[in-house]
Amino acid sequence: MTYLIHALISFASSVGFGIITNIPRRTLLPAGITGAASWLVYVALTAATHAVILPNLMAGVTIGVLANLFAIRVKAPVNVMYIPSLVSLVPGAIIYMSMKDFTLGREAAAQQGLTKTLTIAIALAVGFVIAEASFNALRRLARRRPQN
């Protein structure tokens, strides 16, 4: 039941952010599905590992793979689906608390939060790169394969 609630809320946040950023209507449902799937991967891996890097990396890979598949299906740029799908994973609260700690003179806590934010951002970016590289390699293989 908890995962269902997570899926519904992350789907709604991805679609809502897609509406706010004015992405084409035909991409709202795929962006919502991609956002929900990536959030479920993140939640499941966070519960299993209590780590920061692996859940964000795998969520980034999930977004990369699903967004590429949906982009082909709905004939839209993949970036249109990346942005709304990513909104649930952005470490906004962590960076906010880091800036708050910095302004209050708590440099050690601010540095720890900034390091965590940077780690999450890098893990997401590497996940996107892995997905893009894998998807491009598979696409090249599919084009070379003779169609009978």
11-to-1, 20, 25, 102, 129 alpha-carbon distances in Å: 15, 14, 15, 33, 23
Question: Amino acid identity, residue 67?
Answer: A
> How many structural domains is the chain composed of?
1
pLDDT tens-digit readout, 9-46: 999 999 999 999 999 999 999 999 999 999 999 999 99
Spatial separation of the C-alpha atoms in residues 70 and 85, rounded to whole Å: 12
Task: State which residues form the domain around 25.
Answer: 2-144
Dump pLDDT digits (tens) for 108-122: 999 999 999 999 999
pTM of the model: 0.86
Is 147's pLDDT higher than 70? no
